[in-house]
Amino acid sequence: MTSDTIQFPILVYHGIRRTPGDPLPAGWGKGHAIDAASFAAQLDAIVASRRQIVSLADLDQRSLAAQSLLITLDDGHCSDYLIAAPELSRRHLTAAFSITWSFLGRPGYLDRQQVREMRGQSFGIGSHGLTHKRLTEVGPAELWREALDSKRRIEDLIGEEISTFALPSGSYNDSVLQALWAAGYRRIMTSDFGYARSGDSVMHRMGVMAETTPREFRNYLTAGSSWAARHRLLEGIRRRFRQKLTRAGAEPSARQAVA
């Protein structure tokens, strides 16, 4: 890293429901949906941490404050407008909302006027693709449409350039990155857990999940990049272990079916 490069957290949220018992709209992920009280408490923790909240535009600056933090929300859930934006504004915080174009107007998701209003409130807007497909699983022509068509349509909607793309399902490879850069994006947001580095065009983020505890969330803000790297490693080990147990548990049934 150069002397003026810093490492800082980028948080990524998805849907927010009023209470933990509220039913989830179609398409919302249970593990990603946090409740409004937890979201408010996390925003209070951010304020208490005295980190400097940055916008998407700030990422183009030559240098960022050492205690920077970017808040992002993916997919374009209706809770972005109904819960997240008001809670952020109440605390004078900003955030970036990445929109999946084909989701606009669906039950449980934003409509076009809400996106315009959020941009009018100075929240950042980025693309989350045209249809939320895993970009590593589509052909070159469809990849190009996901990248460029979503960019052009969102730009037409808000009347200005967008330069940030959040990867659907965090899925990418070199071909995906090349297509996104060719489409004109300057910042690509991944789901790779870790601190981002200022000046990079591909940026790590840390997902806030339904199971994220208050202590763990404080670590997101204060424990630093070394802790984040260890956390990512441990989570990968746990994930592989759970997958192994799942496969092992399915084997007897498969053998019985053959018999």
Statement to judge: residues 236 and 218 lie in one domain: no
Statement to judge: residues 154 and 259 lie in one domain: no
**Higher pLDDT, residue 90 or 223:** 90
Give a yes or no: residue 23 inside a domain. Answer: yes
Give a yes or no: residue 55 inside a domain. Answer: yes
Statement to judge: residues 53 and 141 lie in one domain: yes
Statement to judge: residues 115 and 229 lie in one domain: no
Residue 34: its pLDDT value, please?
95
Statement to judge: residues 61 and 127 lie in one domain: yes
Mean per-residue pLDDT over the chain, rounded? 90
Q: How confident is the model at residue 256 (pLDDT cuts 50, 70, 90)?
A: very low
Q: Is pLDDT at 147 greater than 60 in this prediction?
A: yes
Neighbouring C-beta atoms of residue 208, cutoff 10 Å: 22
Statement to judge: residues 208 and 236 lie in one domain: no
Q: How confident is the model at residue 57 (pLDDT cuts 50, 70, 90)?
A: very high
Is 21 in a helix, a strand, or coil?
A: coil
Q: How confident is the model at residue 258 (pLDDT cuts 50, 70, 90)?
A: very low
- C-alpha to C-alpha distance for 87 and 115, rounded to whole angstroms: 16
DSSP state of 20: T
Of the candidates 168, 109, 118, 113, the one whose C-alpha atom is nearest the C-alpha of residue 143 is 168
This prediction's pTM? 0.88
Q: Are 150 and 168 in contact, with CB atoms under 8 Å apart?
A: no
Q: How confident is the model at residue 56 (pLDDT cuts 50, 70, 90)?
A: very high
Average pLDDT estimate for 247-253: 54
Class of residue 191 by CB neighbours under 10 A (exposed 0-12, middle 13-18, buried 19+): middle
Statement to judge: residues 245 and 158 lie in one domain: no
Q: Provide the phi-psi class of 211: left if phi over 0, else alpha when psi is between -120 and 50, else beta.
A: alpha
Quote the percentage of the chain above a pLDDT of 70: 91
Give a yes or no: residue 132 inside a domain. Answer: yes
Q: Is pLDDT at 112 greater than 80 in this prediction?
A: yes
Residue 242: its pLDDT value, please?
66
Tell me the sheet residues that pair with 126. Answer: 98
Distances (CA, A) of 127 to 123, 138, 146, 201, 245: 14, 17, 9, 15, 36
Query: For 159-178, what is each residue's pLDDT tens digit?
Result: 999 999 999 999 999 999 99
Backbone φ and ψ for 161, nearest 5 degrees, come out as: -70, 145
Q: How confident is the model at residue 243 (pLDDT cuts 50, 70, 90)?
A: low
User: Tokens at residue 170, please?
Assistant: 């965090």
Give the total number of structural domains in the chain. 2
- C-alpha to C-alpha distance for 68 and 170, rounded to whole angstroms: 23
Average pLDDT estimate for 66-95: 97
Q: Provide the phi-psi class of 54: left if phi over 0, else alpha when psi is between -120 and 50, else beta.
A: beta
Statement to judge: residues 209 and 230 lie in one domain: no
Residue with tokens 């690509």, as numbered in its chain:
188
Quote the percentage of the chain above a pLDDT of 90: 75
Q: How confident is the model at residue 179 (pLDDT cuts 50, 70, 90)?
A: very high
Statement to judge: residues 101 and 48 lie in one domain: yes
Residue 255's domain comprises 225-259
Q: Return the minimum-mean-pLDDT range out of 89-93, 145-149, 219-223.
A: 219-223
> Kind of pairing, strands 96-99 and 68-75?
parallel
- C-alpha to C-alpha distance for 175 and 103, rounded to whole angstroms: 25
Statement to judge: residues 117 and 17 lie in one domain: yes
